[in-house]
Chain A
Amino acid sequence: MFHDRSPIYLQIAEGIKNDILSGSLEEDQQVMSTNQYAAFYRINPATAAKGFAQLVDEGVLYKRRGIGMFVSPDARARLRAERRERFFAEVVAPMLDEAKRIGISVDEIVKHLGEK
C-alpha cells in the first residue's frame, strides 16, 4: 500500500484526494477515524493523524467536534482545479521533453491523440 521513499502522511493525503476526485469519497461524507485508518492499513496512528491533519489544513476535510472528519463541500471542485493546473506542467511538459529527445514532433502527437 505505502512505500517508504516518501513520508507516509503525504501518501495518505494523496490517496484520500484521489478518492475524492474519483467520487468514491463524496462531499460531506465522513472519512475513517485515524484509529480505523491505522488498523486498516497497519500503520502507526500518529502517522495517519498527520495525514488527516494535513488535509484539514488544506481545507479538503473538516472536523466536527466529537464526531469525526468529513469531506469539505467544495473539496472535489478545488482539487480538480488544482490538478488541472498541474496537469500541463507535470504531465504534458515531461512528455514533450521526452518526445523532443527521441524526435517525435508535436504534429505526430496530435495525430496520435486524434486517433484515440
Chain B
Amino acid sequence: MSIEIRELTVRYGGTVAVDGVDLDLAGGKIYGLLGRNGSGKTSLLSAIASYRKPSSGIVRIDGEEAFENPRVARRTCFIRDTLDLSDSDRLRTALDLAARLRPTWDGSYAAHLIEVFGLNPRKRVSSLSRGQRSAFGVVLGLAARTPLTILDESYLGMDAVARTLFYRELLDDYLRHPRTIILSTHLIEEVADLFERVIIMDRGRVIVHDETDALRGRGVTVTGPAEAVTSFVAGHAVLGEQSLGGVRAVTLDGHFTAGDIERGEAAGLSFGPIGIQDLFVHLTSQPLEASR
C-alpha cells in the first residue's frame, strides 16, 4: 500500500515529536526507518498506523485518509513494544484473535514462526522474556501478511541468532508475498541489506529518504595535509572533521568525480568511502536538545 504524508505534526503537550513531515512511500517495498532515540520514529509510525491522531497534517494510505478508517485499519498491522496484548492472555489466545481480525492471516505460517522462535503457545504473554516478547511480535506482524506491515524496533532483547532468524523470515516471506513493510531500527549494519529505501529522522524531521544503495559510499573521508584538505573540500557539506598535527581528516556528504579524486591524490590526499552506519552517525550526531 502506498503512503502519502503531508505536513504531519505530532505533539505531546509542549513536545513536538514529528515536525511538519512530508513523505511519499510507494507500495510494495521494504523501508528502513532510522533515527536516534527521541527522533520521532515511533510517533511517525503511530500516525501512519492511525494509533495516534495527527496534531495537524494528514496521512493517506492508498489515497484514503488513514485515521479512523476501518478499510485501512484492516489492512495495516503495527507491531510496537507493548504488543497491545493483555499480559494474562496465552499466546494461543492472541493468535486466535489475530486470525479472526485479519482476513490475510496465515495460520500455518504463524505456526511455523512459533516453532522457528521456539515459543510455547500455551504460555502467557506475561511469562515471556524481552526477546521472546519481541519474537512473538514478529510472529504477529509477519503472519498477519497485511499489505502494510509496520515493525517498530521488533528486535529488542533478541540475541544475534534470533535476529538472524527474524531477518531471514522477513526477507523470505517478503519474496513470496511482496508488500509494504516499514521496519524501524538502531541496528543499521546488520539489516540495511534488506531495505530497498532508508528514511532517516532527526529531531522530528525526515532528513534523508533515499535508496539504500545510494547511501552506500555517499559519504567520503578526505585525509591529508591540512591546507590541501581545506582547499579541496571548500564548498562541500562537511559532516565531521579531526586534526592531528598537520594532518586533517574531513568527512563529507557528497560525491567526487574520478577526475576530482585523481587531482586530490596528486595533491597528496587520500579518499575513503564511509558506510551507512557512519553516515547515519554523522548526519544525526548533533545534541538532541538543540532544537527543543
B-binding residues in A (CB < 8 A): 2-9, 35, 38-39, 42-47, 50
Shortest Cβ distance from B277 into A: residue: A4
Q: Is B194 an interface residue (CB 8 A)?
A: yes
B194 near A42: Cβ-Cβ < 8 Å: yes
9-residue interface stretch from B88-96, B141-149, B164-172, B241-249: B164-172
Complex CA distance for A46 and B167, rounded to whole angstroms = 16
- Contact between A8 and B175, CB atoms less than 8 A apart: no
- Give A89 Cβ to nearest chain B Cβ, in Å: 11
Is B189 touching A44 in the complex (CB atoms < 8 A)? no
5 A–B contacts, CB within 8 A, in A order: A7-B214, A35-B175, A39-B171, A44-B194, A44-B195
Contact of B282 with A by CB under 8 A: no
Asked if B213 and A47 sit within 8 Å, CB to CB, the answer is yes
- CB within 8 A of B167: which of A6, A9, A42, A45? A42
Which residue from chain A places its CB closest to the CB of B168 in the assembled complex?
A: A42
Q: Name the residue on A nearest B279 (C-beta).
A: A4
B191 to chain A, nearest CB (A): 10
Question: Knowing A7-B214, A7-B216 touch, does A2 contact B172 (C-beta < 8 A)?
Answer: no
| CB pair B175 A38 closer than 8 Å | yes
- Taking a contact as CB atoms under 8 Å apart, the answer to whether A8 and B216 are in contact is yes
- Pick the contact of A45: B175, B189, B273 (CB < 8 A): B175
Residue from A4, A35, A46 within 8 A of B29 (CB atoms) = A46
CB-CB contacts of B245-279 with A at 8 A, as 1s and 0s?
00000000000000000000000000001111100
> What are the 4 closest A-B residue pairs judged by CB atoms, nearest first?
A5-B273, A7-B213, A4-B275, A6-B217
Asked if B172 and A8 sit within 8 Å, CB to CB, the answer is no
Which A residues are in CB contact (< 8 Å) with B29? 46
1/0 contact trace for B155-171 toward A, CB 8 Å? 00000000000011001
B212 CB contact (under 8 Å) in A5, A35, A39, A44: A44
